[in-house]
A and B are shown apart, each in its own frame.
Chain A
Amino acid sequence: MNARVEPQLLTRLSSSHLDALEEEAIFVLREVAAFERPTLLFSGGKDSLVLLRCAEKAFGVNGDGTFGSGRIPYPLLMIDTGHNFPEVTDFRDRRAAELKADLIVRSVEDSMRRGTVRLAHPGESRNVHQSVTLLEAIEEFRFDALIGGARRDEEKARAKERVFSHRDSFGQWQPKAQRPELWTLFNTRLQPGEHFRVFPISNWTELDVWQYIERENIALPSIYYAHQRQVIERKGLLVPVTELTPPREGEQVVTRTVRFRTVGDITCTCPVASPAANASEVVAETIAADVSERGATRMDDKTSDASMEKRKKEGYF
C-alpha cells in the first residue's frame, strides 16, 4: 500500500516475500495442531480463505494423494451474527463441504434466545456481541487454541498483538501483560480455562493477501469483485441498502459499481466504488489506494481510537 512503489517492482519483490509469508503461516498452523482442542475461525472472508489455503498445504489436503491425512486436523468455527451477506455464507458452506471439514456454526441469535446477549435496540450492530457467542462456543467445546485470519496492518491494536495471543479464563486480552515471544519458541502453556488466539497471517498486509489470492488462484465470494449495488452515500461511506440498513428519511438511493474490501456484519460493512473484476485488478487498486481497508469500509471502528482494543479486551477476536 504505497503509492511510490511501481507495480512491476512489487511483483519482483512479492514472489519470494509471499513464499516466506506462506512458510511462516504453515509453520504456525502446524504448531497449533499440537493443541488438544484447536479450531480455525472461518467466516468465508478473504483472510480466512487465505488461511484455509495455507492449512490445505500444511496438511496435504489438496496434495497428490501420496501424502497427508487429507483433512485439516481441526474443525472450522463460524460465529454467525445472522447479519451476513448470503453470497459469503453460501460460499463458506460450499468450501467447507469441498474440504470435508467439520464446520461448527454458533449464532448470536441463539445467545439472544438464551438471554446472554441483549441488544440495546433491534437495529444495533451485532458485531460486538459476537464476543459473547464466541466465548460460549469456547466453553462448550473447551477450545484451547482458536486460529484467526487477523492481520497486524488492519488496525493499531492488532499491530500490537502476538502471533500466539494469550487469553485468560474470561477470554480477555491483556495488552500490558503479553507474553514475550522469542524466536519461534512459542510458550503455549495454559492454565485450565485459558486459551490462545493464534494469528498465522499476522505479518501479511492487505496487498500481500490479494497478491497471494492472485498467485494461488483462490476463489472468493462474488461480492469481493465489482458488481452493481444500491447504496446510500453517508458520511463519506457507501452504505449498502439492505433490509437491515434501509435508507433514512431524505436519503437518496443510488446504484454504483462497487466491491467489498472486507466483509463482515451487514450493518457495519461498506463497499467501495470500484470497477475491479478480478484479483489482479484488485492488486493494482490496492497498490494505488490512499485510504486503509478499515477506514474505507467500517462504520463501527470510527467511534473512538480505542474501540478495537476495548472490544478485544472483552474477548473479541
Chain B
Amino acid sequence: MDASTLAQPVRQPSGDHDAALRFITCGSVDDGKSTLIGRLLVDSKAVLQDQLAGVQRSGETDLALLTDGLTAEREQGITIDVAYRYFATPARKFIIGDAPGHEQYTRNMVTAASSADAAVVLVDATKLAWQDADLKLLPQTHRHSLLAHLLRVPSIVFAINKLDAVQDPALAFRHISAALGRFAQSAGIEPRAVVPVSALKGHNVVEAAPGWCGYAGPSLLQLLETLPVTQAETAEPFSFPVQWVEKFSGSSDTSQGRRVFWGRIATGQVRPGQAVRVMPSGQTATVAQVLDAVRRPRDIGAGHSAGIVLDREVDVSRGDWLLATDAPEAVREVSGTVAWLDDEPLLPGRVYWALHGHRWVKARVRRIGHRLDIQTLAQQQATQLEANAIGQVEITLQEPLATRPFERARLPGSLVLVDTATHRTAGALLVR
C-alpha cells in the first residue's frame, strides 16, 4: 500500500450522520494530541472567549492547555487521563476523547477507545528517521493502533503531525505513510486514511491544504464529518443482558402481575411473539410485549434500551441474559485476547472477578497462551502479563456464561476482569 492510495478514504462512508461521532486521538507522548484537539476546537470556533483567555500566556496561545485540565498534567506537561470535549460543525456533532499517550496510562486510552466510533492515531514526524525509506515507528503507535483495532473501533485514521517542522515534508509523509502501510497490513488493520497535518500551524486540520506534502485529500475534520458511527450488531442472534427488573405496582395492570425486564439489547432484535431462553436457568418463554426506553411499545434492535415482558412467570434476575433459542450454549471455558491494565500483573492460577453484561462471576486464569510483541507482532512465551501487555489467555469461569466471539458481538464477547483484593479494574478480555 503506497501513500497515494492510503491518502484517500478507503470506503465510502455510510451510517447515520445525524448521530454524534465519538472519536479519540491517541499516539505517543508529545505527538501533539492535545494541541491537535485545541486546534480543532479553536479553528472550528468551538472555544469560548473566557476559555481562550485562560490558555493565553504573554500573548501566545498554548492549545494543549485547553484539554490538559489536571494540576499534575500541567506540571508534567503530559496527559494523564481522558478529557472529553464537545463541539459541532454545520455538518455534525462530535464527542472527542483526548487519550493519554504515555504507556503508564494505556488503561485510560483503552477506556476512551471502548466507546469510540473512530481513532485518530497521531504520528510525530520529527521523532522518526523520516529520511529512511525503511523507518521504524514508535512502540506507542503500534500499541494504540493494535488496541483500537482489537477493540473494533470502526475507523482508524493515521494523522502524521509536525510535518511543518521537517526539512522535506513531502518525502517524510511518503516514507512514514509507507511504514504505516506495512505495519497496518501485518496487523490486519485497514486504515481509513493517512492525513498529513500540522496541529501547531493548522495545516489540514480544519481547512484542507491542497497539495501540501503531496496530499490532495480532505482535511482531518472534513474526513471526520463523513465517518460512520458504530453499527449495531442487528444481524446476530438476539441477546439481552437484564439490567433491572421492574415489578408492576399492580393496580391498573390486568396482565397477571408480570414483570418488565429492562436493559440494552446487545445483539439482534426483539419483537412480540419471539421465543427466548433464559440464561442461566435455561427456561424458555415467549415475548409478550416490548417497550422502548421511554415505554412506548415497539420492536427494538441492538444498541437500544428495551423493556421486555414475557408471556409467563419465569425466574429472571438482574445479571441474567435473555437469548434467542438458537443462540450458542453458555460455556465455562473461555479463551481470548486480554489487554492488561493493572499495575499488578496477571498471574495464571489467580482468581479474578469477571463482569459480563450485568453478571459478576469468579474467573480463574488457567493458562497464558502468549504475549504479543508490540514491535514485531511476534507471539512470545509468557508466565505473566504485566501492565499494558496484550496477550492470549484461557480462563475457567465459576458459572457458565453466554459468550460469543468479540469479533462478531461486542457486548457478549467482552469481559472486564477485576482484582478481587483491590477491586481495581485489571483487564479487558475479548473472547475469541
A contact set with B: CB distance below 8 Å: 1-6, 9-10, 12-13, 15-17, 20, 22-23, 26-27, 30-31, 33-34, 57, 59-60, 63-70, 152-153, 155-157, 159-160, 162, 175-176, 178-185, 187, 189-191, 202-203, 205, 289-292, 295-296, 305-306, 309-310
Contact A182 B428 (CB under 8 A): yes
In the assembled complex, the CB of B224 is this many whole angstroms from the nearest CB of chain A, namely: 15
B80 touching A179 by the CB < 8 A rule? no
CB distance from B337 to the nearest CB of A (A): 14
B111:A182 contact, CB within 8 angstroms? yes
Say yes or no for B260: interface residue by CB 8 A criterion.
yes
How many angstroms between the C-alpha atoms of A182 and B110 in the bound complex?
Answer: 7
Which chain A positions have C-beta within 8 A of B88?
Answer: 2, 5, 10, 13
B366 to chain A, nearest CB (A): 22
| List of B residues within 8 angstroms of A4 by Cβ | 44-45, 89-90
Secondary structure call for the A interface = loop
> 14 A-B contacts, Cβ less than 8 Å apart?
A5-B88, A23-B305, A30-B244, A33-B244, A67-B246, A70-B249, A153-B85, A159-B69, A176-B81, A183-B410, A184-B411, A291-B49, A292-B51, A309-B69
Check B424 for interface membership: any CB of A closer than 8 A: yes
Among B14-22, B123-131, B157-165, B196-204, the stretch that binds chain A is: B14-22
Stretch with Cβ within 8 A of A (4 or more), from B182-190, B276-284, B287-295: B287-295
User: How many angstroms between the C-alpha atoms of A310 and B69 in the bound complex?
Assistant: 11
Which of B70-78, B323-331, B377-385, B397-405 touches A?
Answer: B70-78
Compute how far the CA of A26 lies from the CA of B294 in the bound complex, rounded to whole angstroms.
9
Least CB separation from B419: chain A residue: A189
A4-B90, A296-B50 given as contacts; is B108 within 8 A of A180 (CB)?
Answer: yes
Is B18 a contact partner of A16 (Cβ separation < 8 A)?
Answer: yes
Closest residue on chain B to residue A175 by CB atoms: B70
- Set of chain B residues within 8 Å of A16, measured between Cβ atoms: 16, 18-19
A185 touches B82 (CB 8 A): no
Task: Please report the C-alpha to C-alpha distance between residue A162 and residue B20 in the assembled complex, in whole angstroms.
Answer: 19
Q: Apart from A156-B83, A182-B425, what are 11 other A-B pairs with CB-CB below 8 Å? A: A3-B45, A23-B293, A23-B305, A27-B305, A160-B69, A179-B424, A185-B355, A187-B425, A189-B353, A189-B418, A291-B49
* B243 closest partner in A (C-beta): A30
Q: Which residues of A contact B415 (CB under 8 A)?
A: 185
Q: For B295, what are the chain A residues with a Cβ–Cβ distance below 8 Å?
A: 57, 60, 63-64, 67-68
Are A290 and B84 touching (Cβ within 8 A)?
A: no
Whose C-beta in chain A lies nearest to the C-beta of B68?
Answer: A156
Q: For residue B84, which residue of chain A has the nearest CB?
A: A152
Is B368 close to A, CB under 8 A? Answer: no
Footprint of A on B, CB under 8 Å? Answer: 16, 18-20, 44-46, 48-51, 54, 67-72, 74, 80-90, 92-93, 95, 107-108, 110-111, 114-115, 243-244, 246-249, 251-253, 260, 262, 264, 291, 293-295, 304-305, 307, 318, 341, 353, 355-358, 410-411, 414-416, 418, 423-425, 428
Q: Determine which residue in A31, A178, A182 has the highest number of CB atoms from chain B within 10 A of its CB, and name it.
A: A182
Contact across chains for B80 and A176 when beta carbons are under 8 A apart:
yes
- Closest B residue to A19 by CB, please name it: B293
Residue contact B44 to A65, C-beta cutoff 8 Å: no
CB neighbours (8 Å) of B67 from chain A are 156, 159
Is the CB–CB distance between B115 and A17 below 8 Å? no
A157 to B68, CA, bound (A): 9
| A160 touching B45 in the complex, CB below 8 Å, given contacts A30-B262, A69-B249, A185-B414 | no
A190 touches B423 (CB 8 A): yes
Q: Which 8 A-B pairs have the closest CB atoms?
A: A156-B69, A295-B50, A189-B423, A180-B107, A30-B244, A65-B252, A185-B416, A182-B114
Interface contact A175-B72, CB-CB below 8 Å: yes
Query: Could you tell me if B44 and A2 are in contact, using CB atoms closer than 8 angstroms?
Result: yes
A152 CB to closest chain B CB (Å) equals: 5
Chain B residues closer than 8 Å to A190, beta-carbon distance = 423
Determine how close the nearest CB of chain A comes to the CB of B100; give it in whole angstroms.
Answer: 10
Decide: A203 near B86, CB < 8 A? Known: A22-B293, A34-B358, A60-B246: yes
Structural contact, B86 and A205, CB atoms closer than 8 A: yes
Tell me the minimal C-beta distance from A241 to chain B in angstroms.
Answer: 24
A184 proximity list for chain B (CB < 8 A): 264, 411
The answer on a CB contact under 8 Å between A203 and B95 is yes
Q: Is the CB of B71 within 8 A of A309?
A: yes
In contact, A67 and B260 (Cβ under 8 angstroms): yes
Contact residues in A for B260 (Cβ distance below 8 Å): 67
Cα-based distance from A80 to B71 in the complex (angstroms): 29
How long is the Cα–Cα vector from A69 to B48 in the complex, in angstroms?
44
Given A57-B295, A182-B110, A291-B50, A9 contacting B90 (CB threshold 8 A): yes
Inter-chain CA distance A203–B115, complex, in Å, is 12
Are B83 and A159 neighbours in the complex by a CB distance under 8 Å?
Answer: yes
